[in-house]
Amino acid sequence: MGIDVLSVGDIVTDAFIKLIDDQAKVTKDDNGKWITMPFGVKIPFDHVEVLEAVGNAANASVSFARLGLKSALHANVGGDQFGRDILLALDKNKVDTRLMKINPGKISNYHYVLWYKDERTILIKHEDYTYHWPHLRPDEMPKWIYFSSISKNAEKFHDELADWLERHSEVKLAFQPGTFQIEMGARRLAKLYAQTEVLAVNREEAVLVTGGDYKDINGLFDKLHALGPKIVVISDGPDGAYASDGVRRLAMPIYPDPSPPYERTGAGDAFTSTFVAALIHGSDIEGALQWGPINSMSVVQHVGAQKGLLTQAQLNNLLKQSPKTYRAKPLT
């Protein structure tokens, strides 16, 4: 079986610990927002929900499968029960696992999520895996690669991927850089950016990548396109999203929430993967912008990044029901 899109990045099990509203509070200072709780005491919590096989690339792989594409994932797991549970969860979601790397004697990534009201703080620890780009047989060759957040241990992996893409120019790259990849800098990853078909960042990340002006969205597009990507998508939280294909630049509002967000994890992954899926299905950037926010809206109505992911039929049905204001407009 061929692969439409191979997602690449780290994978993890998340344990969501739902905090009781009156057992914590949020404070704010010049350094940002902080969740505070009493120190040195026992604090009751509401409940725990354990979600296997999550993370930026894993969430995208499930989104692609849900949207009718032949989706595979390349990520590292340990040779432990958590790793076996991750593989089982991917199988259940119809994600091809033949390119997953199992590391005997090592443990799988396991994170803890402090879930307070509709936001979350994630306690993370990336296990020390050895990263190498896999050898792909002809039947494993993807049409697209979706590359996202990965460990600091994987710096040379980026060079291997860039070299492979140079030899396989028929494969398109969608790049949703994670924290470490943004910290590496655009100069260090120049070869990868130059081979990117679709680059997806939020507005704050666009500033970090380019050093541009937060208020100048067109200037950010100019600087991001200058790195090489043919299509650039900039998400902007409640203000919607913007996309540019080098010719047209469009602004898109969010899809109206049917009720207040329940939990926001994975909204960005849902938006970006759905945007890319629409392109793979043949849409232009306007059609892709119409799809993306709908899946984000659905995801934040549930716990975690995958439960609310829609099928193509469900997404199109919601698009038909959208208000007249839900339309892409030229960016001025």
- pLDDT per position as a tens digit, 16-28: 999 999 999 999 9
**Is 243 part of a structural domain of the chain?**
yes
CA distance 31 to 261: 25
SS3 content of the chain, % helix, strand, coil (to 5): 35, 25, 40
CB atoms within 10 A of CB 24: 16
**Is 11 part of a structural domain of the chain?**
no
Instruction: Count how many domains the chain has.
Output: 1
**Is 287 part of a structural domain of the chain?**
yes
Q: What is the mean pLDDT of residues 26-37?
A: 93
Cα 207 to Cα 158, 218, 285, 289: the distances in Å are 22, 12, 22, 21
Contacts of 194 (CB under 8 A, 6+ apart): 227, 228
CA distance 192 to 170: 15
**Domain range spanning residue 287?**
236-265+272-332
Question: Helix, strand or coil for residue 172?
Answer: strand
CB atoms within 10 A of CB 250: 19
**CB-CB contact of 293 with 252 (8 Å):** yes
CA distance 129 to 11: 12
**Is 292 part of a structural domain of the chain?**
yes
**CB-CB contact of 72 with 7 (8 Å):** yes
CA distance 240 to 107: 39
pLDDT of residue 259 exceeding 90, the answer is no
**Is 130 part of a structural domain of the chain?**
no
Confidence of residue 251 (pLDDT cuts 50, 70, 90): very high
CA distance 275 to 269: 10
pLDDT of residue 287 exceeding 90, the answer is yes
For residue 305, the model assigns a pLDDT of 83
CA distance 292 to 277: 9
278: tokens are 């629409």
- Condensed to tens digits (0 to 9), the pLDDT of residues 133-185 reads 999 999 999 999 999 999 988 999 999 999 999 999 999 999 999 999 999 99
CA distance 41 to 38: 7
**Is 77 part of a structural domain of the chain?**
no
- Condensed to tens digits (0 to 9), the pLDDT of residues 6-15 reads 999 999 999 9
**Is 92 part of a structural domain of the chain?**
no
Q: Pick 109 or 267 by higher pLDDT.
A: 109
Contacts of 239 (CB under 8 A, 6+ apart): 254
Confidence of residue 1 (pLDDT cuts 50, 70, 90): low
Confidence of residue 214 (pLDDT cuts 50, 70, 90): very high
- Condensed to tens digits (0 to 9), the pLDDT of residues 63-111 reads 999 999 999 999 999 999 999 999 999 999 999 999 999 999 999 999 9
**Is 296 part of a structural domain of the chain?**
yes
Residue with token string 């690669």: 145
Between helices 267-280 and 285-299, what is the axis angle to 10°? 150
**What residue type is 284 in one-letter code?**
D
What mean pLDDT, rounded, does the chain reach?
95
**CB-CB contact of 247 with 286 (8 Å):** no
Confidence of residue 257 (pLDDT cuts 50, 70, 90): confident
- Residue 55's Cβ-count burial label (10 Å; 0-12, 13-18, 19+) is buried
- Condensed to tens digits (0 to 9), the pLDDT of residues 102-145 reads 999 999 999 999 999 888 899 988 899 999 999 999 999 999 99
Model confidence pTM above 0.75: yes
Confidence of residue 58 (pLDDT cuts 50, 70, 90): very high
For residue 110, the model assigns a pLDDT of 96
283: tokens are 């849409």
